Amino acid sequence: MNDRPNYITPAGYSALKAEYDRLFGTERPALVETIAWAAGNGDRSENGDYIYGRKRLREIDRRLGWLAKRMKAAKVVDPARQEDRSRIWFGATVTIADEDDNHRTMTLVGDDEADAGAGRVGWNAPLSRALRGAAIGDLRRVALPAGEREYEVMAIDYPRA
């Protein structure tokens, strides 16, 4: 991993924990039971339940390891407790406008909970990095894959405590 903190909202951390608990407490034990049953059926080289079960078990174990690392490195930050609400920091919901006056609203969240289609942009994404610390009316230039764009901050909002 890198040396940057893994910021995450309380809701994002809960989602990671719920996935971990589901995989570890439900899916993995059921799969181990299926593998044990399939192994008792004899020839394992042509046993689909056994082969698929082992493959799926490796996938689950790999995902559990990744989730455990991410949760251990997580720094839960509640955006509702943000003191400086006049600037863009972690958890802010921001409305920006580009040079063509196209408005876009997004929330800056942890990288593990980012979903651009739902308007949640990861904290370490180029757009988020460019907007950090900006106030309403500030112009920020961002280098994107499609080319450099300039955005003006139109609104900043944080959830209420």
In sequence order, what DSSP letters do the residues of 8-77 get, joined into one string?
A: E-HHHHHHHHHHHHHIIIIIHHHHHHHHHHHHTTS-STT-HHHHHHHHHHHHHHHHHHHHHHHHHHEEE-
Q: Tokens for 88?
A: 């863009």
What distance in Å separates the CA atoms of residue 161 and residue 155, rounded to the nearest whole number? 19
Task: Name the DSSP letter for residue 23.
Answer: I
Closest Cα to residue 10, out of 109, 87, 132?
109
Instruction: Provide the pLDDT for residue 1.
Output: 47
Residue 9 CB contacts under 8 Å (≥ 6 apart), including other chains = 76, 77, 78, 79, 91, 109, 110, 113
Task: Name the DSSP letter for residue 68.
Answer: H
80 contacts 100 by C-beta, under 8 angstroms: no
What distance in Å separates the CA atoms of residue 78 and residue 90, rounded to the nearest whole number? 9
Closest Cα to residue 122, out of 106, 142, 135, 138?
106
pTM: 0.81
Instruction: Provide the pLDDT for residue 61.
Output: 97
Q: For each of the chain's 161 residues, which pLDDT tens digit applies? A: 456 778 999 999 999 999 999 999 999 999 999 999 888 887 777 788 888 999 999 999 999 999 999 999 999 999 999 889 999 999 999 999 999 999 999 999 999 999 989 999 999 999 999 999 999 999 999 998 888 999 999 999 999 87
